Amino acid sequence: MNKLNLIQIQEYAEKQIAEFHKQRLEYVSQKIDFNKLLEQKNPYLFKAKNILTAHDLVKGFVDAFLQSQEETLFGNFLEGLAIFVCDMVYGAEKFEKGVGMDFMFEKNNTIYVVECKAGWNWGNSSQIKQLKVNAINIKSKLEKETRKKVIVVNGCCFGKKKNLYPEKDGYFKMCGQEFWHLISNDDELYIKIIEPVGHKAKQRNEEFDIAYAALINKFTVEFSKKFCTQGVINWQKLLEFNSGRKKPASN
């Protein structure tokens, strides 16, 4: 076991969080396509919420899209940070794609195999079922190869949840403080990483807010031209665009 270097963790976190903000900014300034946005979101939901203005509808579509993207981007950041920390302390070994697990390390003569997720509330029933299958398979394989005890962990970067029957599931669910302690041997690391995560957050969010406002204004004008009649949202026209049967291509 090696000593935890908080300065290196801070440097890594600050560099990678800058990449998160960069990609987040790219979505609002370059990557959101107006037509695809309208095709992917649920107009019935916004009608049920009695949305009356083009601005509110566009903002709702954009916010729903961004929330999904940000959760993915930030999840990738947290998972990368966890692997970085574990590698520093225990020499984590990353698995190749297709194994169904992220990394493994040895601690107290026990091999830990980790499937890392940002938060505890992830996955549908099929994904959870697949995790159980992967856990059983990798545990059996490594125990035969190493003759050592193998523990499979679904490590979640925040939360407090545990699975009630880890032996039956084939893996232990460890969240928040418990998970960060497992991979770092530092009981307070889950608190210590909050400051570098917020590195230059105010400055970067001001830049994002300007680009976000420009996008909302641009899309509101475009939506009003295409889907408003005398200033009123034409829901029939929007639904035809969003859900209507595709017309056969003309010769």
Q: How far is 35 from 39, CA to CA, in rounded Å?
A: 6
Phi-psi domain of 47 (left: phi exceeds 0; alpha: psi -120 through 50; beta: other):
alpha
| Tens digits of residue pLDDT in 116-132 | 998 888 888 999 999 99
What is the architecture, at CATH level 2, of domain 92-191?
Answer: 3-Layer(aba) Sandwich (3.40)
**Residue in 49, 28, 16, 67 with CA at minimum distance from that of residue 197:** 16
**Residue in 16, 34, 32 with CA at minimum distance from that of residue 226:** 34
Q: Answer whether residue 66 shows pLDDT above 70.
A: yes
pLDDT value of residue 246: 82
Q: Answer whether residue 8 shows pLDDT above 80.
A: yes
| Tens digits of residue pLDDT in 234-248 | 999 999 999 998 877
Q: Answer whether residue 162 shows pLDDT above 70.
A: yes
What is the average pLDDT across 155-175?
A: 92
Q: What is the CA radius of gyration of the chain?
A: 23
pLDDT value of residue 250: 66
CB atoms within 10 A of CB 207: 13
Q: Answer whether residue 208 shows pLDDT above 70.
A: yes
pLDDT exceeding 90 applies to what percent of the chain?
78
Cβ-contact 208, 21 below 8 angstroms = yes
| Tens digits of residue pLDDT in 26-60 | 999 888 999 999 999 999 999 999 999 999 999 99
pLDDT value of residue 251: 59
Q: Which CATH number describes the domain made up of 1-90+200-241?
A: 1.10.3250
Residue 183 CB contacts under 8 Å (≥ 6 apart), including other chains: 82, 85, 86, 89, 90, 92, 105, 114, 155
Residues of the chain with CATH 3.40.1560.10: 92-191
Q: Answer whether residue 25 shows pLDDT above 80.
A: yes
| Tens digits of residue pLDDT in 82-119 | 999 999 999 999 998 878 899 999 999 999 999 999 88
What is the average pLDDT across 171-180?
A: 95
Q: What is the mean pLDDT of the chain?
A: 92
Query: Residue 210 corresponds to which tokens in the numbers above?
Result: 């300007």
pLDDT exceeding 70 applies to what percent of the chain?
99
pLDDT value of residue 121: 87
Q: How far is 166 from 153, CA to CA, in rounded Å?
A: 9
Q: How far is 95 from 102, CA to CA, in rounded Å?
A: 6
**Residue in 85, 62, 65 with CA at minimum distance from that of residue 16:** 85
